[in-house]
Amino acid sequence: MWLLVASAPDEASVGQRDALLRLGDWEEAGRFGPGPALRRGDLWLVTIPDLHLTHDHVDREAEAALGRRPDIVVFLSKHRSESRTPSLTVHPLGNPGAADYGGRPGTLVPAAPHAMTAALRAVRREAAGLGYAVTFEATHHGPYLETPAFFIEAGSTEAEWRDPRAAEALMRALIDLRPATGPVAIGVGGGHYVPRLTDLALARDVAFGHLVSGHAVPHLDDGMVEQLVARTPGASLVYFHRKGIEKGALRRLEDVFPAHGLRIVREEDLELLSPGPLP
C-alpha cells in the first residue's frame, strides 16, 4: 500500500491531487479524517486539513482509519525557493540538525531509496520540454513518521504551484511508478539541490536514500551517521561529492561511514543505466 497525502492549505498539493483524479479511476474505500480515502489499485489517496510539514504520524492514522499500514508515504507539495527557478523536486524527510520546518530535531524519517529514485527519473521523463529543472533536494523538514516516505514537489512560485502541466507531469510519474533497482547509497555533499547526486541518480545504476547537503555535514557525528544508515533501508554504499565537502570533514567521514558498514564509491564504480542517461 502506497499512501499519497495531499494537504488542503497547499495549493500545489491540491492541484496535484486533482491531477491524479483526472489521470485515473479512483473509488472511495473508506474515510480518513473529514474526507474520503480514495483507492486505485495499491495506491491510496487522502487529503489532510492542515499543512503536511507539521502533521506527524500520518502512517499511524492510516492504519487506524483504513486497517492497513502504508509501505510508503508520498507527500504532494509545493516547493518554494528564493531563486524562483521553475523546479520539480523529490526528497527524503528528516532533520540532521534543527527542526525549523516540522519534524523532530536530529531525527530522520526512513527513506524510500528505490521508489524515490524511480520518481526522480520518471519526473525527468514526464516533464521533458516543460522548462522545469528536475532535481533531488537534500533531506530536510518534517513531518515525522516511522514509514519510508518522500516528498514530490512543484515550484518555486505561485505560477508553478498553479501550473496544471507541472501537476500532471508529477502525477503521471507517480501513478504507475515502479521502484528502481540497483544498490542503495547515501549521498553526502553539495548544495541544497545536491546536483551531483541528482546527476548520478539519472545516469547510473544506484538508488539514493538520505541526501546530506554540505551545509548539514557538521551534524554528521557518529550517532547521526548511524541514523542515516539505519533509516536508508538496504544501504550498502556512500557517495561523497568531494568538492562540496570541506577537506577535514571529508577525511573524518571517510573513516566514519566505513565503520558503519558502508563502502565508499566513486562514479566509475557505478554501472551506467541501460540504455544510458535519461534525456
Secondary structure (DSSP) of 111-138: P-HHHHHHHHHHHHHHTTTS--EEEE--
- Is 0.95 topped by the overall pTM? yes
Q: Is residue 207 part of a domain?
A: yes
> Percent of the chain beyond pLDDT 70?
98
pLDDT tens across 180-208, in order? 999 999 999 999 999 999 999 999 999 99
Q: Domain count of the chain?
A: 1
Task: Give the pLDDT of residue 274.
Answer: 81
193: domain range?
184-269
* 48, 138, 197, 203, 238 from 267: Cα distances, Å: 41, 19, 10, 10, 11
186 neighbors 238 (Cβ within 8 angstroms): yes
Share of the chain above pLDDT 90, in %: 95
pLDDT of residue 81: 85
Averaged pLDDT for residues 27-55: 97
**Confidence tier at 231 by pLDDT (50, 70, 90):** very high
- For the chain, give the mean pLDDT: 96
Which pLDDT does position 278 carry in this prediction?
A: 46
In this structure, is residue 57 part of a structural domain?
no
Q: Is residue 275 very low, low, confident or very high in pLDDT (cuts 50, 70, 90)? A: low
pLDDT one-digit tens code per residue, 56-97:
999 999 999 999 999 999 999 999 988 889 999 999 999 999
Q: Please check whether residue 127 lies inside any domain of the structure.
A: no
Give the mean pLDDT of 213-226.
97
Q: Where are the alpha helices (DSSP H) in the chain?
A: 11-23, 58-66, 113-126, 158-161, 164-175, 195-203, 222-230, 247-259
Q: Is residue 229 part of a domain?
A: yes
Q: Would you say residue 257 lies in a domain?
A: yes
In a domain, 236, yes or no: yes
Burial class (CB in 10 A: 0-12, 13-18, 19+), 42: exposed
279 pLDDT band (50/70/90 cuts)?
A: very low
CATH number at residue 203: 3.40.50.10700
Which tens digits make up the pLDDT trace of 99-141? 999 999 999 999 999 999 999 999 999 999 999 999 999 999 9
Which DSSP state fits 213?
-
What is residue 52's predicted lDDT score, i.e. its pLDDT? 97
Confidence of residue 258 (pLDDT cuts 50, 70, 90): very high
Which region, left, alpha or beta, applies to residue 30 given φ > 0 means left and ψ of -120 to 50 means alpha? Answer: left
**Has residue 208 been placed in a domain?**
yes
Query: What per-residue confidence (pLDDT) applies to 276?
Result: 45
- Residue 251: pLDDT band (50, 70, 90) is very high
Q: Among 268, 203, 270, which Cα is nearest to 236's?
A: 270
Tell whether 10 is covered by a domain: no
Rg of the chain over Cα atoms, rounded to whole angstroms, equals: 18
Determine the Cα–Cα distance for residues 53 and 102; give it in Å rounded to an integer. 5
